[in-house]
Structure 1
Amino acid sequence: MARRNVGRRRADNRSNRGHRIEIPHGHGHGHGHGHGDAVVDTSVVDSDAVVARRVRIVVAALLIPLIAAAVIAMIVMWPGGDLKVPAAEQTGASGTVVSLKPCAKTPADCDLATVKLRKAPGSDKGLEVPVEVPKGKQAAVPIKVGEKVLLGVQKGAPLKSRYQYVDHDRSIPLMLLAGIFAVAVIALSRWRGVSALIALGVTALTLTQFILPAILQGSNPLLVAVVGGSVIMVIALYLTHGINAQSSVALAGTIASLGLTAFLGWAFVKVGDFSGLATEGASAIKSYVPGLDLTGLLVAGIVIGALGVLDDVTVTQASAVWELSAANPSAGRANLIGAGLRIGRAHVASVVNTLVLAYAGAALPILMTFAIGGVSTGYVLTTEIVAQEIVRGLVGSLGIIAAVPLTTALAALAVADRSRDLVGLPESVPPGAESGAEKML
């Protein structure tokens, strides 16, 4: 068939980003032609001249200005100098417990551990030092010989009292879990999985080297979150999914939805008279950085928390519309938008539930505290510590809901009716040359 042959010739030069999907025949307007199963390659949509021209307009008019603005804002707000606060400065150490014996004063609640230091300031590394550790009812997790522990350091104190027990050292199980995660991602997604892991590293660097320090330095937390989140999405989407038309449309939908999420978060935090002090650790950080905008920090957390889910939704919607267009190049905007929204409804329902449950899970100990106190549900929901989690979940969900029609509409505008102007088609196509798969919409 003429159109499919053109698609196959274009697919010869496609990159490994293309997806092949099986489209069963006989789904046309009641008259399948019995050509068997059609294999459709979505890379032909990316390489289509009409799609490329339309996406270039979106990139030039929307993405390039937004990306340029985000990069300039990041440069302007980039933190400089030493951000440490002397009063909050902490020195850590770690070591292995080599022996335990009961403490002299409180043997039922305390053990005197001999800890061989693995990491320690100055020349203390390798020394064996005494450290009091909790036991019995005082110990949340019992401490045994051979276990690794984290220690606090009191500078200038005698060696016998210089180190204090802080917590278990969980570096080995965390590294093991991270290794399993990396292997699983690469095993399933191969080179794209490698790209996804690199993007994850970029995200971690952006958070630790820009977002957190810039907020501590006094920049507006919401602006920092939006700028940092936009840069993260640009790198993550293009690195993971390739620089192509589909990724550009998904990125445009992500940035638009991110902006809406930021606005809704700011509006409802202001309307709800949130102070930001109910967030864990907020009081401590406020005491060290008095000028910190805690309400802005709360909104920034909402934006960053919703960012990863927005990425998932927009990529899925753009991919769905691309596959529909690959199956039927002549599909119009209305048909593509309708079909894309039908696909998006089920996805949104599950993702929204996941997001709300994630925030509810984080607040579970708080909810249990209220439950055993017999406090009424209405009273509990309006307290700041619970209400802020409700706002997080609902605002993030609204951003996800908006991402579906926004991305679907952008994708449909890019690929709709592309067969009318396909370059390289013969002047005439024999009647009935299209299969039912190509007319599925």
Structure 2
Amino acid sequence: MSGSHSHSHATPPDVEVGRLPRLVLVTGIVLAAVATVIGVVVLWPSADARVPPVPYAAEGAETVSAEVVSLSEPCPVIAVDPAVPPTGEQPVFPENCNEATFSVEGESRDVTFQVPPNVIYAGLRAGDAVQLIAFPGVDGQVQYGFLGVDRDFPIALMALLFVIVTALVARLRGLLALLGLVIAGYVLAKFMLPALLAGESGFGVALAGSSLIMIVVLYLAHGVSIRTSAALGGTLIAVLITAVIGLWGVDSARLSGIRDDDAELLLLHAPDLSFPGLLASAMIIAGLGVLNDVTITQTSAVWELRAAAPEMSRRELFSSGMRIGRDHIASSIYTIVFAYAGTALVVLMLISLFDRPLLDLFVDESIGEEVVRTLASATGLVLAVPITTAIAALTVGGPVRSRAGNGARRA
């Protein structure tokens, strides 16, 4: 009797509780994967629905390689005060300012023409490789325009350095993460972008594409396990929350998604594209990286807590995991906000020059769009912490009673 009694207490009831959540988690992941595949198949644009490619330049134009020979002085910036009546005098610019001379591949003569101011300010030097665009002239003379700097070498060098550092520090897991990144790029380029251009639902495309990316990336980088599945479950739920909040925010704030010349050009060539849907998709995609980081970290924290304190109950695991998660929430919110501040630094500097109340800035489409995007991503991110922590605490191995406790109980 005593032996059977001690055996029943050696396997705590909490261990049994973990089996049902694991079954629910695995079933949910399988159903989500099936729904994702169905969504991708249904939303994958047919050949007839795809927007045909548009020529980059006018007919007859071609891209040519060239080398910088010399650069002139930049034209001065002349500020005109609107409060001062014009006197009729025109600003005088130095002769030949903002001009550059290039040695064109295949041409026996150098060509000189005026370039945009940013080209002069970019720090170009003689000998730098650039790309020009050549237009056939009406008189038979080829006309040239500046296209951009040839950045293949520095970008390739940085990419190689990144791969080497990742391989040395993260080893196989880091390389698998890079492979996942390549697959994510393929999903984005071959499915999500063509589907959005074809006028498919932005909400559906974003959910299907993001779910597919997260399923592949998480299992590829972290292996197939309950631990990874717990992180994936939290990620998929948070993606859905972010999508719903983002869609509501775009609609209620009456955001058009058309805020610059690039968007207007896109509207010209893809008239079926839903820009509010595109904006909602952008909100979901923008938060995937940070969301993945949060859910993996929370799951790992719960698993490590269980290894360090095997006697801890699931409620205690959740509480301890949330204490870690709160610190992570703060740093992740900073990441989202400062990432925007860094990319929009020029816009923020212009805002600081004008004397406008803070709330009036939300009237501007570009500012309002980024505020809604940040708030939707941040809300999904914050909710991902308790959701993932709860899933991890329910599906991690159950508590183990100490030997001393078992011995005392047997006695």
TM-score, structure 2 as length reference: 0.80
| Counterpart among 264, 269, 272 of residue 291 in structure 1 | 272
Paired AA for residue 341 in structure 1: M
Query: 1:232 matched to which residue of 2?
Result: 213
Query: 1:44 matched to which residue of 2?
Result: none
Query: 1:33 matched to which residue of 2?
Result: none
Paired AA for residue 134 in structure 1: Q
Q: Judge conservation of contact 2:305–2:317 (CA < 8 Å) in 1.
A: yes
Match of 2:356, SS state, is coil
Query: 1:417 matched to which residue of 2?
Result: 398
Residues 1:134 and 2:100 are matched in the alignment? no
Q: 1:52, CA displacement in angstroms? A: 7.1
| Counterpart among 39, 52, 70 of residue 84 in structure 1 | 52
Match of 1:329, SS state, is coil
- Find the aligned partners of 1:159 and 1:222 in 2 and give their Cα distance: 51
| Counterpart among 113, 132, 141 of residue 102 in structure 2 | 113
Unaligned runs of 5+ in 2: 1-14, 73-94
Structure 1 segment 12-411 matched on structure 2, within 5 A: 54-60=21-27, 62-81=28-47, 83-86=51-54, 93-97=63-67, 99=69, 107-116=96-105, 131-134=111-114, 139-141=120-122, 143-154=124-135, 160-161=141-142, 163-278=144-259, 281-411=262-392
CA RMSD of aligned residues (A): 3.1
Count of equivalent residues: 368
Q: Judge conservation of contact 1:114–1:130 (CA < 8 Å) in 2.
A: yes
Paired AA for residue 406 in structure 1: I
Q: 1:354, CA displacement in angstroms? A: 1.1
- Find the aligned partners of 2:102 and 2:189 in 1 and give their Cα distance: 35
Point out the more displaced range, 185-194 or 382-391.
382-391
- Find the aligned partners of 2:290 and 2:230 in 1 and give their Cα distance: 16
Point out the more displaced range, 242-251 or 90-99.
90-99
Query: 1:15 matched to which residue of 2?
Result: none
Q: Identity over the aligned pairs, expressed in percent?
A: 33
Q: Judge conservation of contact 1:96–1:115 (CA < 8 Å) in 2.
A: yes
Paired AA for residue 237 in structure 1: L
Q: 1:305, CA displacement in angstroms? A: 0.4
| Cα distance change, pair 275–96 in 1 and its aligned pair in 2 (3 A) | same
Q: 1:348, CA displacement in angstroms? A: 0.6
Q: 1:391, CA displacement in angstroms? A: 1.1
- Find the aligned partners of 2:111 and 2:408 in 1 and give their Cα distance: 87
Q: 1:236, CA displacement in angstroms? A: 0.7
Q: Judge conservation of contact 1:74–1:228 (CA < 8 Å) in 2.
A: yes
- Find the aligned partners of 1:87 and 1:180 in 2 and give their Cα distance: 34
Cα deviation 1:290-332 (Å, max 9, x = unaligned): 2211111111111000011110000001111111112233432
Q: Judge conservation of contact 2:233–2:388 (CA < 8 Å) in 1.
A: yes
